[in-house]
Structure formats: C-alpha cells, structure tokens
Amino acid sequence: MKKDSVAKSKELTNDIKTILEKYELVNVNKHDFGVYQLSLNRPKVLNALNDELMRQLSDVITLLQNHDARCFVLTGSQKAFAAGGDISEMSGKSYAQVTEEQYVTSIWSKLEQRHIPIVAAVNGLALGGGCELAMLCDIIVAGYSATFGLPEAGLGIIPGAGGTQRLIRAVGKAKAMDVILSGKTLTAIEAERSGLISRVIDDDKVLAEALYIASNIAKRSKPVISMAKKVVDYAHESSLKNGMQYEQQNFYATFALEDQKEGMQAFLERRKPNWQDK
C-alpha cells in the first residue's frame, strides 16, 4: 500500500461538526478526498443495531452524501463490527407491531438508496443484522479474526435485513443454507474464498486498508462511480426487491410464533431455548 495514497485525517468544519454532535451512536471522522469514516458506537452491547442507531446511521449518511462525501468507510470495534439486531428491542414485539411499523425495512431501505459507496471495515463479529449491514455495503474488508454469521434461526426468527437474499447471491445456495439453517459461521478466510468479502488482512490494518480503498474510489469521478455502483447493483440485485419483500413477510411472520418469544427470552436469560415448534 502506498502510504501517500491513504486518506489522511482532516478536521470537520464547524457547521457540520455541530450537526454531527447530536448523533452519539455514530462517530464521524473526516479524511482527505471526501472520505468519511463512520464508526458504530454501542460498545457495551457489541454494537447491537437498535432502531435509534440505524436511524442515526441513515441520517448521517444522507447528510454527508448531500454535503461533500465521496466514499464512506463503515466500521465497528475490534471485538465487533456488530453483533446483530438488538434482541432486547426485538424480543417483546408482536407480529402486528413489526408489520405495522415495517420493522427494520422502514429504516434500512433508506441506506440502500444511497449513491455513495460504502466500504465495510470488519473486525471481530459480524452476526445477524451486523452481517447484513456489512453485506449492504459495497465492498467488505475484514481482519483475519473476523467472523460472519446469520444466527437468527437459533433465536426463533429468520434474517430480516436482507440476509437470506444477499448471502445466497454472494456465496451460493449450499453455503448460504449452511449458514442460515445450521448457524455455521464463516471465518474471514472462508468468507473471502466464498466471495462474500473482497480482502482479508491483519486485524490492525483493516481500517487503513478500507480507507485506502475508499480514497482510491473518492479520487475518481463522482458521477462515474455512482453509475458504476448502480449498474453493478442492478446486475447483482435485479431480483432482490421481490426477494426482500418475501423475506420481510416471513421475518414478520416469525413474530407470530411462540418460538420467537422463547428464543429471544432464552438469549436474554442466558439459557438454552425450549422450542415449542409453534
């Protein structure tokens, strides 16, 4: 990596700094060339993705996209990129509630509409919604100790933020089924070999590598990058919309099961679930 090509840290201007201060769950650092580093900030719960965090992330991305952002790097902590949707927030929800509030979809779909690329810099755990958030990014770089997985079925639900749809497109049916049905996790090396992520690197170099990739993207023509992203997305995701709707219906339907309550309660009580099969 040529060091002089890496985006150097820059001071945020006062106007944008004041606006960004209210987003306490997403830390923002500006780098050269219009690269912004966004760091998820709920360390006590391993960056579990509650509605508020996802709302803040979506707002920050929209705000910076309309300002001078040319590429984002999204990261978490060394221990966890994100350990999934927030189970405490989800556990008590009913089928009627998740359907009425369009749980997950109403906020996450805004992130999908961005035209600026995101490079995910993943260290540690990328589980459930955390893995889905990484997959919603355009390029994933991970450290050797990163772990990817979709453990939702063990909680009495199915992935509900694109996991069933994006994983199969990235790694194929056999591996996707294994991960989703059996709860198998993928190491960073397996994820790279399977096509889920683009680069594996030493844990302490992940962020620098992601910033390097982002600065290379940001130095190119903004409309060209935006068109290239749109067209690659189209090839990859042209049938995604229907799939996402189908996933959403079934994700919501799991909240009508007793096993959803049991699975999540068991996690919160730190015990094994006692499945009722209903």
Shortest Cβ 99–ligand CAA spacing (Å) = 15
Number of residues near ligand CAA (by CB under 6 A): 22
3-state secondary structure of 222: helix
In degrees, rounded to 5, the angle at the alpha carbon of residue 190 between the alpha carbons of residues 247 and 263 is 40
Shortest Cβ 272–ligand CAA spacing (Å) = 12
> Please, which residue, 76 or 128, has the CB nearer to ligand CAA?
128
Shortest Cβ 254–ligand CAA spacing (Å) = 10
Instruction: Encode 120-150: b = buried (16+ Cβ within 10 Å), e = exposed.
Output: bbbbbbbbbbbbbbbbbbbbbbbbeebbbbb
In degrees, rounded to 5, the angle at the alpha carbon of residue 205 between the alpha carbons of residues 69 and 236 is 55
- Verify binding: residue 86, ligand CAA, rule CB under 6 A: yes
> Please, which residue, 76 or 159, has the CB nearer to ligand CAA?
159
> Please, which residue, 23 or 251, has the CB nearer to ligand CAA?
251
- CA–CA distance, 197 with 188 (Å, rounded to integer): 8
- Verify binding: residue 122, ligand CAA, rule CB under 6 A: no
Cβ contact 58:110 at 8 Å:
yes
CA 72 distance to own-chain centroid: 13
Region from 22-30, 62-70, 84-92, 166-174 binding ligand CAA, contact rule CB under 6 A: 84-92
Binding site for ligand CAA (CB under 6 A): 45-46, 48, 83-88, 104, 125, 127-129, 132, 151-152, 155, 159-161, 163
